[in-house]
Amino acid sequence: MLKNILAGVAFAALFYATPAHSELEEMPREEAITHPCGGAGLELRSITQYFQHRWRARFMDLSDSAVKAWVAHHKAEDKDITLVRVFQSDMQPEMALVSATRFVNYLDGKPLVDLMCLVKMDGRLSLEYTTEELKSILEGNGSDI
């Protein structure tokens, strides 16, 4: 009998000591980084697959000098952008551009993880341009398109 009472008290204490679900949401918590890019959807490969599947888009990466021109136009030199990918689809009138930076993690001097992570520009993952707008940006900053 005493054993049953102690088990009941312990069970009640468990519920009393555990915060309600709404209280858990209000409590500050540390976000664990589970993906080097901040999430699997923030990897260049993921957005490339999305554009290819959703919009049947073709893509091309800008040359190094064109990347520098595009970065300079957006004043984004501090974002360590190493790649700009251009998507074009017959289903959309404008091209979509995404920017990325390389993330490499080493183990014993050898690359363990090597990913291209998306870089948000103006709070967005992709920016849209007409052919003329992109040409003007790249030519205006001395790029060899």
> Model confidence at 88, in pLDDT bands (50, 70, 90)?
very high
Q: What average pLDDT score do residues 76-87 get?
A: 97
- Taking CA 39 as the corner, what is the angle to CA 92 and CA 88, rounded to the nearest 5 degrees? 15
The answer to whether position 15 is within a domain reads no
Decide: pTM greater than 0.85: no
With respect to residue 99, please indicate whether it lies within any of the assigned structural domains.
yes
In this prediction, residue 140 has a pLDDT band, given cuts at 50, 70 and 90, of confident
Domain residues for the domain of 62 are 36-140
12 falls within a domain: no
Task: Tell me if 53 is assigned to some domain.
Answer: yes
Which positions ≥6 away from 68 have C-beta within 8 Å? 141, 143
The closest alpha carbon to 74, from 130, 140, 131, 145, belongs to 140
Structural domain includes residue 49: yes
Residue-wise pLDDT for 44-69, tens only, equals 999 999 999 999 999 999 999 999 99
pLDDT of residue 23: 47
**How many structural domains comprise the chain?**
1
